[in-house]
C-alpha cells in the first residue's frame, strides 16, 4: 500500500534526473522537493518541468524557509503566505498532491525561556485560522492540498499534536487542508502514536518519516510496525516521505538505500519485486 518518497537533499546527484536514478534504484517511488523562500522554488520551474518530462515523480514539496505562515511578525507572515501560495501553484503544475508546512519552526517554545509567547491565545488562533483559510482556498483553486505539520514542543509552540491540527482543520472547514504527520515529532508529542493516527485518520493527507533520533527509519527506537500498521488501518494512500538526518557512521547513500526495504519489512510486506 505504501509508496515512498525521498527528500531531494538526501539523494546523491547534481540534477533531479540523477537523483531519481539513484532513488528509483533504491526502491523509492518519488522525490519530495524542498521549497525555499524568495520564490526560489518558482524559479526552479524550468528545471522541474524538464525533470517531470523525464519521468521524475515529484508528489510533494516541503517548505524550507526561515519564517512561516503563523510568524509573530506581520510582514514575515505575509511573505510566508505568498511563498506558500506560490509553492502550491508550482506543485500543482507538476501534477503533485500538495505542499507541507508547519505553523512555525524555531520561532518559540513554551518549554524554553522566556516560556510565555508574546502573543495571546486568541490572537494565535486567529492567525492560524486565517492563514490556513487563505492557503486552503488557494490550494483548492489549484486542485492540491496544504498539509499542516504538527512539530514537537521545542520547535513550535502552536501545533504539536495531531488532534490540535485536526481541530484547526475542522474549524477551517476546507478539504484542501489536511494534516501532514511526522513520525519523529509524533514520538515526542503523542502518548500513543498509532492511536493518534487512527483518531486523525480521515484528516491525514501526508506522512513524513524519520526515527526517534531524527535519523533515517531503522536508526532509532520507534515501533515502526505499529506506526505503519496504524497508518495502513487508517486507509492512508499517500507517500511515506523520508525527511531526516543520516547516521554519521554510515555511508550516506547506504543509509538512504536502507529505508525502503526497512519500511517494507516493518509493514509486514516484502520489498517491491522480492515477491513472496
Partner 1 sequence: MTSPAVAVDRDPAPAPPPAPARAFGQAAPPLRRSACRVLIGNWTGHSTVPSHGLYPHQWSWNSAFIAIGLRHLSPLRAQRELETLLGAQWGDGRIPHIVFNRAVPLGAYFPSPDFWRSSTAGAAAGAPRALETSGIVQPPVHALAAWLVHRADPEASARRGFLARVHPRLVAWHRYLADRRDLGGGGLAAVVHPWEPGMDNSPCWDGPLARIEPAAADSFRRADLVHGAAADRPTDLDYGRYVRLAAEYRDHGYRDAAAAHPFAVEDPGFNALFAASEHALARITQALGGEPDVHRERAAALTDALVARLWSREAGQFLSRDLRADGAGPVTGRLVRARSAAGLLPLLAPDLPPAVAGALLETVRGAHFGLGTTVRLLPSYDLRGAAFDPHRYWRGPAWFNVNWLLERGLRLHGAGERADALAGEILRAAEDSHFAEYVDPYTGAGRGTRDFSWTAALALDLLARRARQDPAPVPAPRKDS
Instruction: Out of 22, 42, 232, 250, point to the residue binding partner 1 (CB under 8 A).
Output: 232
Is residue 183 a contact residue for partner 1 (CB under 8 A)?
no
- Size of residue set near partner 1 by CB under 8 A: 31
- DSSP state letter for 215: B
* Residue number, 147 or 227, with CB nearest to partner 1: 227
Angle at 126 between CA 164 and CA 107, to 5 degrees: 70
Whole-angstrom Cα distance, residue 227 to residue 211?
11
Question: What's the grid cell of residue 264?
Answer: 517494507
Among 8, 194, 215, 242, binds partner 1 (CB under 8 A): 194
Interacting residue with partner 1 among 223, 245, 250, 253 (CB under 8 A): 223
Q: Does the footprint of partner 1 cover residue 9 (CB under 8 A)? A: no
218 binds partner 1 (CB under 8 A): no
Reported as type and span, the H/E element at residue 101 is strand 98-101
* CB 174, min distance to partner 1, A: 27
Burial (CB < 10 A; 0-12, 13-18, 19+), residue 25, is exposed
Rg (CA), the chain: 18
Q: Which stretch binds partner 1 (CB under 8 A): 12-20, 99-107, 173-181, 190-198?
A: 190-198
Which residue's CB is nearer to partner 1, number 25 or number 191?
191
**Residue nearer to partner 1 on the CB measure, 137 or 232:** 232
Report cis status (omega within 30 of 0) of the bond before 173. no
Q: Please, are residues 107 and 56 in contact by the beta-carbon 8 Å criterion?
A: no
Tell me if 215 sits within 8 A of 245, measured CB to CB: yes
**For residue 122, is the peptide bond before it cis, meaning its omega torsion is within 30 degrees of 0?**
no
Q: Is 243 a catalytic residue?
A: yes
Least distance from partner 1 to the Cβ atom of residue 265, Å: 6
Q: Which of residues 12-31 bind partner 1 (CB under 8 A)?
A: 29
Residues of the shown chain interacting with partner 1 in the complex, contacts defined by CB under 8 A: 1-3, 29, 191-192, 194-195, 198, 223, 225-226, 229-230, 232-233, 235, 260, 263-265, 267-276
| Residue positions annotated with a catalytic role | 149, 243
Amino acid at each position: 500500500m505504501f509508496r515512498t518518497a525521498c527528500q531531494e537533499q538526501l539523494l546523491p546527484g547534481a540534477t533531479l534526473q540523477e537523483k531519481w536514478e539513484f532513488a528509483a534504484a533504491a526502491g523509492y517511488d518519488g522525490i519530495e522537493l524542498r521549497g525555499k523562500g524568495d520564490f526560489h522554488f518558482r524559479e526552479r520551474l524550468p528545471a522541474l518541468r524538464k525533470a517531470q518530462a523525464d519521468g521524475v515523480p515529484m508528489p510533494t514539496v516541503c517548505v524550507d524557509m526561515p519564517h512561516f505562515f503563523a510568524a509573530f511578525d506581520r510582514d514575515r507572515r505575509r511573505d510566508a503566505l505568498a511563498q506558500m501560495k506560490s509553492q502550491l501553484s508550482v506543485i500543482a503544475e507538476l501534477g503533485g498532491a500538495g505542499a507541507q508546512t508547519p505553523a512555525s519552526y524555531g520561532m518559540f517554545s513554551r518549554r524554553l525561556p522566556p516560556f510565555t509567547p508574546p502573543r495571546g491565545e486568541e490572537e494565535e488562533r486567529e492567525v492560524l485560522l486565517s492563514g490556513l483559510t487563505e492557503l486552503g482556498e488557494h490550494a483548492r483553486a489549484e486542485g492540491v492540498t496544504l498539509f499542516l505539520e504538527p512539530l514537537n514542543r521545542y520547535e513550535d509552540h502552536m501545533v504539536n499534536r495531531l488532534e490540535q491540527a485536526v481541530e484547526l482543520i475542522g474549524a477551517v472547514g476546507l478539504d484542501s487542508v489536511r494534516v501532514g504527520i511526522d513520525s519523529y515529532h509524533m514520538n515526542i508529542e503523542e502518548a500513543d502514536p498509532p492511536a493518534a493516527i487512527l483518531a486523525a485518520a480521515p484528516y491525514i493527507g501526508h506522512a513524513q518519516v524519520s526515527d526517534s533520533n531524527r535519523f533515517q527509519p531503522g536508526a532509532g527506537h520507534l515501533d515502526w510496525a505499529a506506526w505503519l500498521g496504524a497508518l495502513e488501518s487508517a486507509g492512508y494512500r499517500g507517500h511515506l516521505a523520508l525527511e531526516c538526518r543520516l547516521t554519521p557512521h554510515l555511508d550516506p547513500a547506504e543509509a538512504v538505500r536502507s529505508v525502503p526495504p526497512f519500511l517494507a519489512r516493518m509493514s509486514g510486506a516484502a520489498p517491491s519485486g522480492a515477491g513472496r
